[in-house]
Amino acid sequence: MHEVSKWRCLTAAALALLLNMGSANAKPAGGNELRLATTTSTEASGLLGVLLPRFERDSGIKVRVVSVGTGQALKLGERGDVDIVLVHSRSDEDRFMAQGFGSLRRDVMYNDFIIVGPKDDPAGIRGQQNAASALKMIADKQKKFVSRGDDSGTHKKELALWRDVGMTPKGGWYIEAGQGMGEVLTMAGNLRAYTLSDRGTFLAYRGRVGLDVVVSEVPGLFNPYGIMPVNPARHPHVKHALAMKLADWIVSPAGQEAIRSHKVDRQSLFIPGAPPK
Amino acid sequence: MELSAAIAEAFRLLFSFDAGLWNIIGVSMKVSLTALLIATPPAVALGFFLATVPFRGRRLCVIVLQSFLSFPTVVVGLVLYVLLARSGPLGELGLLYTPEAMIAGQALIAFPVLAAFTLAAVQGVDRIVRETALSLGASRWRASLTTLFEVRFAVMAGVFNGFGRVISEVGCAMMVGGNIAGLTRSIPTAISLETAKGEFAQGIALGFVLIVLALGINALLNYFQGEGGMK
């Protein structure tokens, strides 16, 4: 009898493991654990390392983080593999909400995208007032540009900018890396190429990659982050109450102050609240 | 069901000869086969040398060689990366993020496998083979070739084993190749990317290709062994 239940237990465990394969987060969360899917930028910039310990201390909730591209983070939310998502791709977030996958969306913070490139700026785009036309100049002069190519929020932003100038980038100068922001910055540094980055990750990597900001703070480059608890009407098993605590905390004065306090080289990486219109 | 839909789409991609997919397969095959072609002759020579020529420090060499078998591929990638990065000693060559860098990495990864297999095989072969050859008037060189011919299946198994190790290797390929579309995106780095994107169909299609390659290669080995495989 004892043997039987042991085997049953093992089989159940093996099945659970199998069923969870393919989703990035294989561990089922325990009672007071929350599963958060977020983008590589929040993790790589060190923000989560500041934010989550404070939230965990304030709330007693343990947060398990899956950090992937915005595309996959949203898919994890759609499938109910996580309880809450923190991402940055406004149009995809609106679609996520419209399809009923999220229970609500809150503006958490924003930073801006920047175009970075070699210090000598071979395409001569420094100080351009329009991000898309700066990219077009890179393309026209066939200077190297590294694209994330990984369906991330940053990649989507880049593709939207190319669409703005009616271009489909192609050719030896256009390098589709298919990797995270940190890897792409490192690659652009090594190849003396341009790339589009979020400011947070770039500030964290600036000292190492030998690239300069060439275009920034122009329209079209703001990068808002939204947090969305997964809708319990869609996925009854999600921990909506815990997810709401995080969504509430992150926009509370304590959460917003934590975001503001995260600095690299005395510069805030993210600005709390919604971006300027 | 998402998985079955992904598998169906995987087959569609494969058999519609999707250009992107087959380009990835081409990169993998080109890089891995070239790496083996480069690594095999010196590795077999080293394995044979270590098995047949006694010298001081031979034991140490064998230990080092065998421990390289379990050398993590990401460390090979890291070392190559540091050497090839723009700020590194070989940075001027501009080899980082090229297929050539991947070939170098894979050759380094396959080398100990090939050498260790040869070493074990030659050590295992009956001394009489060599002595008979010598007594029949063969030159030392000829006798060595005879010994190597005796162990050809074991060496071949080493080559296939090395192939298996490099074709499925992701760490080093990602670091020094950079997973650049159309240039250095190989099967394993593409699978890792597609999974990160949540695009499982292409990942599964490539997974099938890897499995079919493994099956094909083992079938090939089996075929070559033929009667010789029987004991």
Domain-wise residue ranges, chain A: 31-110+224-272, 112-215
Which residue range is the domain that position B137 belongs to? 26-187
Shortest CA gap B94–chain A (Å):
8
Per-residue pLDDT, B143: 85
Better-scored residue on pLDDT, A52 or B14: A52
* B5 falls within a domain: no
Percent of chain A, pLDDT > 70?
88
Q: Which of A38, A65, A45, A251 is nearest to A153 (CA)?
A: A38
Per-residue pLDDT, A19: 44
Q: In the structure, what pLDDT confidence band is assigned to residue A7 with cuts at 50, 70 and 90?
A: low
Per-residue pLDDT, A30: 56
Per-residue DSSP letter, A102: B
Per-residue pLDDT, A23: 40
Per-residue pLDDT, B92: 85
A175–B96 CB contact, under 8 Å: no
Q: What is the amino acid identity at position A64?
A: R
Query: Which helix (H) or strand (E) segment is B94 a member of?
Result: none
Asked whether residue B122 carries a pLDDT value surpassing 80, the answer given is yes
**HSE value, Cβ hemisphere, 13 Å, CA-based, for B184:** 28
Q: pLDDT (tens digit, 9 = 90+) per residue, B17-36?
A: 888 888 999 999 999 999 99
Residue A175 contacts residue A146 (beta carbons within 8 Å):
yes
Nearest to B180 among A76, A175, A189 (CB): A175
* B78 falls within a domain: yes
Q: Is B230 helix (H, G, I), strand (E, B) or coil?
A: coil
Number of domains in chain B: 1
Asked whether residue A20 carries a pLDDT value surpassing 70, the answer given is no
* B202 falls within a domain: no
* B227 falls within a domain: no
The token pair that represents A226 in the structure block: 């939204």
What is the arithmetic mean of pLDDT over B194-199? Answer: 78
Topology classification of domain A112-215: D-Maltodextrin-Binding Protein; domain 2 (3.40.190)
Q: Provide ipTM, 2 decimals.
A: 0.71
A150–B197 CB contact, under 8 Å: yes
Q: Is B43 helix (H, G, I), strand (E, B) or coil?
A: helix
Asked whether residue A18 carries a pLDDT value surpassing 50, the answer given is no
Asked whether residue B226 carries a pLDDT value surpassing 90, the answer given is no
What is the arithmetic mean of pLDDT over A106-119? Answer: 93
A31-110+224-272 and A112-215 share one fold: yes
* B221 falls within a domain: no
Q: Which of B191, B184, B206 is nearest to B106 (CA)?
A: B184
Better-scored residue on pLDDT, A133 or A20: A133
**HSE value, Cβ hemisphere, 13 Å, CA-based, for A249:** 18
* B198 falls within a domain: no
Topology classification of domain A31-110+224-272: D-Maltodextrin-Binding Protein; domain 2 (3.40.190)
Per-residue pLDDT, A13: 52
Q: What is the amino acid identity at position A243?
A: A
Residue A162 phi, psi dihedral angles, 5° rounding: -65, -40
Q: Distance between CA atoms of B20 and B18, rounded to whole angstroms?
A: 6
Asked whether residue B110 carries a pLDDT value surpassing 80, the answer given is yes
Task: Find the closest chain A residue to B177 by CA distance.
Answer: A177
What is the arithmetic mean of pLDDT over A229-244? Answer: 95
Q: In the structure, what pLDDT confidence band is assigned to residue A232 with cuts at 50, 70 and 90?
A: very high
CA A208 to chain centre: 21
User: Which CATH number is B37's domain given?
Assistant: 1.10.3720.10
Per-residue pLDDT, A28: 44
Q: pLDDT (tens digit, 9 = 90+) per residue, A78-110?
A: 999 999 999 988 889 999 999 999 999 999 999
Nearest to A75 among B174, B180, B198 (CB): B198
Per-residue pLDDT, A25: 40
Q: In the structure, what pLDDT confidence band is assigned to residue A21 with cuts at 50, 70 and 90?
A: very low
Nearest to A69 among B178, B183, B197 (CB): B197
Summary mean pLDDT of chain A: 87
The token pair that represents A224 in the structure block: 């808002």
- Least confident segment among A8-12, B146-150, B158-162, B185-189: A8-12
Task: Find the closest chain B residue to A150 by CA distance.
Answer: B197
* B13 falls within a domain: no
What is the arithmetic mean of pLDDT over A226-244? Answer: 95
What is the arithmetic mean of pLDDT over A180-188? Answer: 92
Residue among A19, A190, A208, A211 with most chain B CBs within 10 A, to mutate: A190
Buried b (16+ CB within 10 A) or exposed e, A75-93: bbbbbbbbbbbbbbbbebb
Q: Give one DSSP letter per residue of B152-218, joined into a string.
A: HHHHHHHHHHHHHHHHT--HHIIIIITT-TTTT--HHHHHHHHHHHT-HHHHHHHHHHHHHHHHHHH
